[in-house]
Copies of this chain bind each other. A is one copy, B any other.
Amino acid sequence: MTQYLSSVIKAGKNESYDVELAEDLLKANEERAAANRNWFKAHGIRVIEVIGSVGTGKTSLIENLVKRLRNRFKILAIAGDLGTTIDSSLIARQGVEVMQINTGRECHLDANLVSKAYAKIEQVKADLVFIENVGNLICPSEFPLGAGKRVVVLSLTEGQYMALKHPLTIMAADVVAVNKMDLAGVLDVNPEALVRDIVRVNPKANTAMISCKTGEGISKLIKLLELQE
């Protein structure tokens, strides 16, 4: 059988509808993100943003972290979602304050939406804030929110090529957590090869192999986020 990859089209500046707008938008967001970062710093608040595609375990990860950290920190979780409060309710079961941001059709949070949490953060005197972005591995990476650390959650079930296919998101990560390691035995995915790709794309990123189901790797992740005792 012949293998022929016949044509490759690249969407350039004039081929896609919304490139110009995107530039203004990104710039405005970056300014707002810088303001958020300064505000968090001035108030002594650590902020961890969690990015990942749908169903990778962002909510479970925040639940795991909250369980282990709620005695040492005053935590607020901000949960972004298109329209539901499913994730917020799951996190709230852990006994911490949760603020829901429903984005409607928007496929990512932005720094402006996050700045609406200032009053709530002050009200509950939070010193640790988790921000769960909307389930999407592409768009959130271009919209920094002003967090101190960005965790990208991949799931082993997504397959071998996640890092190579999403270099911009991997490059935007401080820590990449590979979740669902408990399923490693039944998947045709090589975790070592995935980690090699992550490191190749972003040599500065730390990686943690985790299972939000069994708790594997969560302690290591807490150290990588500089939240250990």
- What is the interface of chain A, defined by CB distance below 8 A to chain B? 1-12, 15-18, 21-22, 25, 28-29, 53-56, 81-86, 88-89, 92-95, 97-107, 110, 112-113, 116, 120, 124, 134-139, 142, 155, 157-159, 161-162, 164-168, 180, 183, 186, 188, 213
Contact = CB atoms under 8 A, between A and B. Distances in A.
B101 A9 contact: yes
Given A3-B92, A54-B158, A159-B55, A10 B107 contact: no
B55 A86 contact: no
A167 to B, nearest CB: 7
Given A55-B155, A103-B16, A4 B97 contact: yes
Given A28-B17, A139-B107, A186-B186, A98 B5 contact: yes
A163 to B, nearest CB: 11
Given A8-B88, A8-B102, A11-B106, 12 more contacts: A3-B89, A5-B98, A6-B124, A7-B99, A7-B100, A11-B104, A11-B113, A55-B162, A82-B165, A105-B168, A107-B139, A135-B138
16 contacts: A4-B92, A4-B97, A5-B85, A6-B98, A9-B113, A10-B102, A11-B113, A12-B104, A21-B21, A53-B53, A53-B135, A82-B138, A83-B167, A135-B137, A157-B180, A188-B213
- How many chain copies? 2
A120 to B, nearest CB: 6
Nearest to A90: B161
Contacts of A168: 82, 105
